[in-house]
Amino acid sequence: MIVICEPMCWGFEHAPVNAALIATVAEAFQEEGLSFLAEAEHIRYVKSILDAHSVVVRYRETTIPQWILH
The count of structural domains within the chain is 1
Domain residues for 55? 2-69
β-strand pairing of 2-5 with 58-61 = unpaired
22 CB contacts (<8 Å, ≥6 apart)?
A: 4, 34, 36, 46, 50, 55, 57
Q: Report helix, strand or coil for 19.
A: helix
Average pLDDT of the residues of the chain:
92
Query: Of the candidates 57, 51, 69, 70, which has an alpha carbon nearest to the alpha carbon of residue 11?
Result: 69
pLDDT tens digit sequence for 41-70: 999 999 999 999 999 999 999 987 777 665
Query: Of the candidates 3, 17, 12, which has an alpha carbon nearest to the alpha carbon of residue 39?
Result: 12
